């Protein structure tokens, strides 16, 4: 019973603990992904800011090696003078637009424009410098367009990352709520587990008491069984002795019946003999009485004879005396 109760209590608690560990692991993964996305977004913004700063603020004393696309373009123009007309015709409209959209350069801007030219291009003529600057402007516009497209793409990525971060934040909040609910449920389960443990301890105590009672009852029952066995043995012996005594009693009764029969027969014989003797006695007594009477009569007759002799009585008188 105790093992069943422990199993029934351990299964829901282990399930809750597994769910809690699972949700905590998912929460930690989401937090790690959020931190990675934040770091990547920060890196992207830093790269964009750095690229914008590099495009907007070009130091005048930098060597042409720092602007490899422009220097390559200028070297190509210097090596191919026949291509200058094509470049000039191709970028004339942007330059014109740039001139129409901006005010005339001041002296300071002219000094900066001179400083923009590399040292090998400073010895060129005005037209060559103009062609070089137009090519440089075209390269810069292409690079600016590329950077704008990159910025647009990065802004889209940032918006997507922000939406993803918002979704992850909502998911994290949801998981936090779920974790909190599971934590409260876990606390309830822990509380119920504590109560169940107390109940299990009480059941263990009752089980121990019941086991002690069972052991004492078992000892008593074993003792009673031993006593019953001894009593059964004694009873069997008593039954055997009783059967033996019954056999002996039957023998005694049969012998007693025989002896009683013989005694009765003897008694009957004795009674018959006694009756016969009584009859003989009575006959002898009657005979004796008759003899005594006869003797008395004879004595009287003798006396009468003697008297008659004495008195000389007659025969008739003698007969009368006899009848008397």
Q: Is the pLDDT higher at 174 or at 151?
A: 174
What DSSP character marks residue 118? -
Q: Which two tokens stand for residue 202?
A: 């009480």
pLDDT attached to residue 49: 60
Question: Helix, strand or coil for residue 1?
Answer: coil
Residue with tokens 């970028």: 91
pLDDT attached to residue 245: 85
What are the helix (H) ranges across the chain?
Answer: 2-56, 68-79, 84-90, 92-101, 107-116, 126-311, 315-323
Q: Which of 41-45, 163-167, 184-188 has the lowest mean pLDDT?
A: 41-45
pLDDT in tens, 42-59: 676 666 666 655 554 444
Q: Which two tokens stand for residue 154?
A: 């990065």
Mean pLDDT of 187-205: 89
Q: Is the pLDDT higher at 261 or at 53?
A: 261
Are 38 and 211 within 8 A, CB to CB?
no
Mean pLDDT of 116-138: 69
Q: Is the pLDDT higher at 176 or at 78?
A: 176
pLDDT in tens, 56-98: 444 444 443 333 444 444 444 444 444 443 334 433 433 343 4
CA 134-140-146 angle, to 5 degrees, is 140
Cα distances from 103 to residues 97, 99, 129, in angstroms, run 11, 7, 20
Count of residues in the chain: 324
Alpha carbons within 13 angstroms on the beta-carbon side of residue 158 total 14
pLDDT reading at 99 higher than 50: no
With bands split at pLDDT 50, 70 and 90, how would you rate the model's confidence at 313? low
Q: Which two tokens stand for residue 123?
A: 């010895």
* pTM as predicted: 0.28
pLDDT reading at 126 higher than 70: yes
CA 265-266-269 angle, to 5 degrees, is 85
- pLDDT mean across residues, the chain: 71
Mean pLDDT of 293-315: 73
Q: Which two tokens stand for residue 244?
A: 């033996």
pLDDT reading at 106 higher than 50: no
Residue closest to 141 by CA, chosen among 78, 190, 94: 94
Helix axes 126-311, 92-101, angle to 10 degrees: 90
pLDDT in tens, 20-35: 677 677 767 777 776 7
CA atoms of 151 and 48, how far apart (whole Å): 7
What DSSP character marks residue 67? -
In which region does residue 216 sit, left (phi positive, over 0), alpha (psi from -120 to 50) or beta (all else)? alpha
CA atoms of 126 and 110, how far apart (whole Å): 13
pLDDT in tens, 211-257: 899 898 888 888 888 888 888 898 899 889 888 888 888 888 888 77
């Amino acid at each position: 019973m105790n093992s069943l109760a422990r199993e029934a209590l351990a299964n829901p608690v282990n399930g809750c603990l597994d769910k809690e560990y699972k949700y905590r692991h998912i929460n930690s993964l989401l937090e790690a992904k959020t931190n990675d996305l934040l770091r990547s977004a920060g890196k992207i913004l830093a790269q964009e800011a750095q690229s914008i700063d590099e495009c907007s603020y070009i130091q005048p004393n930098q060597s042409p090696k720092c602007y490899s696309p422009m220097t390559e373009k200028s070297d190509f123009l210097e090596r191919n003078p026949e291509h200058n007309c094509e470049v000039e015709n191709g970028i004339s409209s942007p330059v014109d637009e740039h001139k129409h959209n901006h005010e005339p350069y001041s002296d300071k801007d002219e000094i900066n424009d001179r400083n923009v030219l590399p040292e090998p291009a400073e010895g060129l003529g005005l037209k060559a410098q103009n062609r070089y600057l137009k090519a440089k402007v075209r390269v810069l516009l292409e690079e600016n367009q590329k950077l704008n497209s990159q910025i647009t793409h990065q802004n889209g990525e940032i918006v997507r990352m922000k939406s993803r971060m918002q979704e992850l934040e909502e998911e994290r909040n949801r998981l936090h709520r779920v974790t909190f609910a599971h934590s409260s449920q876990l606390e309830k389960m822990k509380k119920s587990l504590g109560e169940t443990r107390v109940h299990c301890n009480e059941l263990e105590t009752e089980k121990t008491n019941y086991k002690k009672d069972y052991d004492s009852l078992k000892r008593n029952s074993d003792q009673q069984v031993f006593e019953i066995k001894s009593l059964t043995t004694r009873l069997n012996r008593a039954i055997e002795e009783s059967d033996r005594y019954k056999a002996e009693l039957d023998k005694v009764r049969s012998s007693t019946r025989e002896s009683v029969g013989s005694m009765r027969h003897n008694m009957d014989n004795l009674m018959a003999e006694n009756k016969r003797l009584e009859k003989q006695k009575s006959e002898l007594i009657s005979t004796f009485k008759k003899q005594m009477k006869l003797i008395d009569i004879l004595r009287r007759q003798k006396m009468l004879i003697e008297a008659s002799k004495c008195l000389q009585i007659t025969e008739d008188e003698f007969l009368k005396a006899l009848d008397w």
